[in-house]
């Protein structure tokens, strides 16, 4: 395992742990998801460069497109929930609470 692969895997695991353990604000959850997607993008770009196959050339760009769509949707949800609930705490966003 190269140092680049180890660094990207560590980045992905740390952002997954951050998402699992520190779920207080919606912004921090969105940042953890975004860092996971950036780590996956870098991994697929490194894989494409190492294998030099033309069939995998579209995969990083597709992942980057989905990442941009996720960021846009997440920020729209953040604005909508902040306007309706006046906070971005994830504990207050549970729809089953009164």
Q: How far is CA 45 from the centre of its chain?
A: 16
pLDDT, position 40? 92
Binned at pLDDT 50, 70 and 90, residue 5 comes out as: confident
CA atoms within 13 A on the CB side of 26: 21
Q: Does the pLDDT of residue 16 top 90, yes or no? A: yes
Q: Say what the pTM is.
A: 0.81
Q: What is the pLDDT of residues 24-81, one digit of tens each?
A: 888 888 899 999 999 999 998 888 888 887 777 788 889 889 999 999 998 998 888 8
- List % helix, strand, coil for the chain (3-state, nearest 5): 80, 0, 20
For the chain, the domains span: 10-91
Q: Which option is the CATH number for 10-91: 3.10.20.90, 4.10.91.20, 1.10.287.3510, 3.90.550.10? A: 1.10.287.3510
pLDDT, position 97? 56
Q: Is there a contact between 69 and 76 (Cβ–Cβ < 8 Å)?
A: no
Instruction: Name the helix (H) or strand (E) containing 36.
Output: helix 26-51
């Amino acid at each position: 395992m190269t140092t680049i692969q180890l660094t990207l895997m560590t980045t992905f695991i740390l952002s997954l742990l951050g998402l699992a353990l520190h779920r207080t604000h919606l912004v921090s959850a969105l940042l953890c998801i975004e860092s996971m997607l950036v780590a996956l993008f870098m991994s697929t770009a490194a894989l494409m460069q190492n294998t030099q196959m033309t069939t995998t050339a579209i995969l990083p760009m597709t992942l980057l497109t989905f990442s941009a769509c996720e960021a846009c949707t997440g920020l729209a949800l953040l604005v909508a929930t902040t306007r309706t609930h006046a906070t971005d705490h994830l504990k207050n966003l549970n729809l089953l609470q009164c």
